[in-house]
Amino acid sequence: MFLQSIRESTIIHIKNAEGVVKNLETEFKQSLKFPYHDNLGLTVYSCGIHSCHPDYAWGPGMRDHYLIHYILSGKGTYNNGEHCYALGPGDGFLCEPDKTIVYTADHDDPWKYCWVGFNGADAQRLVGLTSLSHENPVFHYDQDDRLAKRLEALYEMDNTLLSSDVRRLSNLMAFLAELIDLFGKAPPEHKRGYRYVEKSVRFIDFNYSRSINIDDIAANVGISRSHLYRLFMEHFSLPPNEYLIRYRISKAAEMLEKGGITVSEAAFSSGFSDQLYFSRVFKKYKGVPPSKYAALRKENAKDVTQHDK
């Protein structure tokens, strides 16, 4: 059973250096964080399970990504700045990016929850299909353990495999699919402008290595530059020029990671005519210069950390 496997995991992680279990009520947290976010469409930022101590709180603060919690036991509150929700087992709540929030464990019966954090160009659209939002952030499901199982699959998976990135994304998509099936509604008509965004994304995918710009994208789609900007901000929370840059950097990173290509070749092949500009932008988004990226990726492939607080 899911909850039994969690308890076994809890016992393992709270043993002291001599292997003696100290206290089953000690706060427990198993957390996985992924430092590189290469998948432009959807990327897992973090996942885990947390058995909180009394009155444990996060915030007030803002996240830079989406976060969904699902409560396994205990109680707590979630405040999204507009309403304070009292929550318990079977409840879940959404935290949206760039919104001030705070969530707090109960003093007498602190909650245990699992969670997943994610973002990407497709994140807003997929979250919208679940019908969750900042104005409607809470859901409830206690008919079976399907949601808990989906999240367990994320934080219990083997992150040393070559296929880890794909499996992690697959598990996230399966979790979101469950939420869509349980709570989702068809998007309203005013959201249908997404077809222009989809056409823009396809154009970028087919032409990113060429010297295209935002005017080229807008002309191909058949809308004005300003209309394209509004649609990208509505659906992706990114202006189209930043989307294009991130996409090119993502493709360049893939080339460098595969090897057999120089930095200048990666820059040219991903649509950058200036290698110095490419190196500066690459470091901005990846945190390291392109000349060191492939080596650091290999070093970090097996360096997914677990945090106990």
State which H helix or E strand residue 73 sits in: strand 66-73
pLDDT of residue 48: 92
194 band by pLDDT with thresholds 50, 70 and 90? confident
Which of 188, 99, 168, 227 has its CA nearest to residue 217? 227
Q: Rounded distance, CA 38 to CA 111, Å?
A: 33
User: Across 19-23, 32-36, 136-140, 294-298, which has the greatest mean pLDDT?
Assistant: 136-140
Query: Got the DSSP string for 251-279?
Result: HHHHHHHH-S--HHHHHHHTT-S-HHHHH
Structure tokens at 138: 């809470």
How confident is the prediction for the chain on average, in pLDDT? 82
| Rounded average pLDDT over 111-132 | 91
Mean pLDDT value across residues 12-24:
34
| AA letter at 150 | R
What token pair was written down for 117? 């954090």
What pLDDT was estimated at residue 19?
Answer: 35
- Write down all domains in the chain, each with its CATH number in brackets: 2-183 (2.60.120.280), 189-300 (1.10.10.60)
Average pLDDT of the residues in 97-115: 95
pLDDT at res. 300: 58
pLDDT of residue 142: 94
- Evaluate if residue 25 carries a pLDDT over 50: no
Distance, CA of 66 to CA of 120 (rounded, Å) = 9
Nearest 5°: phi and psi at 48?
165, -170
Q: Is the pLDDT of residue 39 over 70?
A: no
Instruction: With a cut of 70, say whether residue 276 has pLDDT above it.
Output: yes
Q: Using alpha carbons only, what angle is made at residue 65 by residues 64 and 67, rounded to the nearest 5 degrees?
A: 130
Mean pLDDT of 217-236: 91
Judged against a pLDDT cut of 50, whether residue 296 lies above it is answered with yes
Read off the pLDDT band of 32 (50, 70, 90): low
**DSSP structural state of residue 287:** S
Backbone angles phi, psi at 49, to 5 degrees: -140, 145
The model carries a pTM of 0.58
In sign, the C-alpha dihedral spanning 86, 87, 93, 97 is positive
Position 292, amino acid:
K
Q: Would you state the pLDDT for residue 177? A: 96
* DSSP bridge partners of 92: 70, 139
